[in-house]
Amino acid sequence: MAFSSGQIVRFHDIDRAGIVYYPRFFDYIHRTFEDFCDAEVGVPHHKIVDELKIGFPVVHIESEFHHPLQHGDRITVEMTCARLGRSSMTMRYRLFRPGATEPAAEAAITTACVDIADVRPIPIPDLLRAAFQRHLAP
């Protein structure tokens, strides 16, 4: 049910403390959403912006960090849809280190669905809604 994206912790994701700088977790998360658009929506993320003129500004984040990530970790990011509203949604992301059964970090990211021209909320288009629905796990 979850959508999965494999990613690699890179040299420049590491901070002065020798572990992944926590805002980089949101880069892994954003890449996962982009990969989801490609694989599950069938429309690359840049076309969703350019052609469908849709944006997903973040309105709320709740995130927990359990274990640090290290350079070279080949992580798996799992994404499910926790809530699917008319013009907003909450996606849940869980980041796993290689072989781990418990996530290193998890986040619930709530975004609006807006017309990028005027940043007004619009209903989530059917194409996207169907893809989110297939990964719904409230």
Site of interaction with a second copy (CB under 8 A): 8, 10-12, 14-19, 21-24, 26-27, 30-31, 34, 44-47, 49, 55, 57-66, 68, 70-72, 107, 116, 119
To the nearest whole angstrom, how small is the minimum distance from the Cβ of residue 21 to a second copy?
5
- Structure token pair of residue 71: 């350079």
To the nearest whole angstrom, how small is the minimum distance from the Cβ of residue 6 to a second copy?
13
> In the complex with a second copy, which residue's Cβ is closer, 42 or 136?
42
Other Cβ atoms less than 10 A from the Cβ of 120: the count is: 10
To the nearest whole angstrom, how small is the minimum distance from the Cβ of residue 130 to a second copy?
22
> In the complex with a second copy, which residue's Cβ is closer, 1 or 17?
17
Residue type, 35: D
113 closest CA partner among 61, 66, 59: 59
HSE, CB side, 13 Å, CA atoms: give it for residue 9: 26
- The dihedrals phi and psi of 106, each to the nearest 5 degrees, come to -145, 155
> In the complex with a second copy, which residue's Cβ is closer, 27 or 40?
27
Residue type, 24: R
